[in-house]
Amino acid sequence: MQQTLDARLEKTLSVNRSSIGVYLDVFNVTNQGVATFVSALSGRGLGAPLAWSDPRAARIGLRWQF
């Protein structure tokens, strides 16, 4: 079972008739490593993880609504 958590913090400010938002997204907050692709070949490698989920990452952005 995949147990990852993504979160967003946002602050919105009103400017005249529009609004500007500043946000911070944090992906995989718990930093859980989850196999996203496993080997389907027979033999010793059967079911071995070939790819893992991305580690914790962050994104900062602006949003302008008018």
Domain ranges of the chain: 7-65
Cα distance between residue 55 and residue 31, in whole Å = 6
22-41 mean pLDDT: 86
**pLDDT, mean over the chain:** 88
Check residue 15 and give its pLDDT: 92
3-state secondary structure of 44: coil
Nearest to 21 by CA among 53, 63, 60, 59: 63
26-33 mean pLDDT: 85
pLDDT tens track for 39-62: 887 888 788 888 887 788 899 999
Check residue 1 and give its pLDDT: 59
Q: What are 5's two structure tokens?
A: 């958590």
